Structure 1
């Protein structure tokens, strides 16, 4: 019922948004004398804030047409190289100059946690100069017909294994936030099977490997309620006329509401400042606000079975660090990982995955040799800063590329990047 009311509210607001946008354009037109007055700018600013706060944001574009390789600008083209009902695997194909060395393959596993994979645009952009980058582009569950079947945490693990098989030997996998758990599980299963296509290295960034360590507000919320509470209160059916009509999902707008409520004062201040920037004609600051919220407010639904299984396995039972996680009836044994190098990355001010939760992977992967493991904690960044922003580009991305280069199956040893921040080998 709530989902239907949400859709109806958007439909009812559509005419008002259209009127507000037309009035804003008229008040912003330089040929209109009012546009040069304080009154005109104030009215236009208020109308834009109204239109943006009542809009439904669609999936953004990656918009990465080029990158710089060895000091030379080259074009980049998105190419879907693997498909399943709930995911497309995108390759950012670079038009490299003749004779360029072979760069490592990096599979970036984006989180299926309410936002689109485009949230990792900055992650991809920073890795492109030194690697062949692939990313999981998860599909909005409300766009997948019921006839395409279900998708749960076990399927997520199967997808990761299938993509690693599709990409072939000497692939490196980078998991950002939520997929750290299924990626680690997938690698453990592949290693136990002596799979020759297991990745050369895995990088886990800001992931909830063990949420018992330094629990955050998100972790405590999950622990305080039984799984039936989540099933009864946040699971809803996709309304008509969406392609996924009647599919049970955890709606993206609920996830977004939860994230925004954690820092509501910050979002209110941001919109107040946006209004002031518009009135002052401060175009650069206003555009930064638009860019951020165009991405942040674009959300997607998750299948109910994936959401519930993830909450129960990761946040309630803590099954992976306890050695009790099961994939299709088979126990996930992280001690089976012996040949895959491990890099864990955390942010000092992360309020989603607390400090120590990702590093826990170093503890449970006991049989990875000391020379094949590294932990790095980035000072002065929150959750978003672990995979995006200036510090990521300057401090974290070079470490990932260095680690990948060092641990490629056919790579010669290279020195690790240690300048700045806090890095440590071993557990």
Structure 2
């Protein structure tokens, strides 16, 4: 009996023993294509020699020094690297150990900024339904994944939510994509006016929605309108690029493709590629300067902030991505992945939508394609697809609640940036077989 408290108590998990490139091997010697990067984490694959060498070198030099006493050369170098490539206006980086921690830091910095500038009434955060910003209490409070919030609702600060920008299920037949995007963006202004502009601290959004909606991209013009509204009423724009950022969508930051820059940004997953736990908050110059002119203090700290080993690891990962021009491969193989997914599932009776960008794609499964009716959530179809995929040596990221938070199923693909055309083809073939096998257990297809 395992003494590890696993995600699902009572479930027996295969034991991972090794990884190389896009493959993970279990104790029984079976290889699995990591087509989801774990949880969109393993951006350069497993066992990369350059990253392992950088980790060994850093351990030999310095593994840990608490940031109340020291900075480190590698933390400074990584911060310089990130800011040189960051969205316009970014000035500073706060390193932490996960995406949830990065979101917590963003929430506290947003509030702290308004404390420093004397706008003490700004306490409200607005986000979107069907969003996911992390599993800690602050992140749950601003997140819109209601099933995760339910058991802790009485403990959470009040969260205010507007509609997601979810074209497949939200756009009316009489709207263009642009009209739809502007309509749901304008819900932000309505919510600000409802709460009182002087009380709103920030709007929090995933640039491309990951786990809850399966790589749902925003409608054209949506984020530009959001940016305009934030500026009009003086609140901050916090972009959550924990899952969709750091090259996942074909540009280093997903917001580059939206033509906007945030005030605060959370990154993680692809930052360290899974080799060490690391996340970060990127802070705009105007926020950093306000704190410097004021108290000079960010009242937030955790034990492993700026961990030298984690920073060395992330720097090595980022250097590999840049040196090997892996973002070009993301764009190239991402186009092939989209093509192959549409060839395989475009006329499938139970695939309602195929959406995404770069190496970030979602396939939504429906009971009825014409009406977009989801399967009964009791069937746990997304979990069945995951099991069928694992049996075929394929790792995917499944999720339920896609349609309304309770019903709906999708699978998310987020393969490493290093994949080639042959691997893309194999991923789609195995996924197609897995989807059909899982559907065969719930109804004839």
Please tell me the TM-score bracket, short chain as reference: under 0.3
Which one has a larger percent helix, Structure 1 or Structure 2?
1
More relative contact order in 1 or in 2 (CA 8 Å, sep 6+)? 2
TM-score (norm: length of structure 2) = 0.26
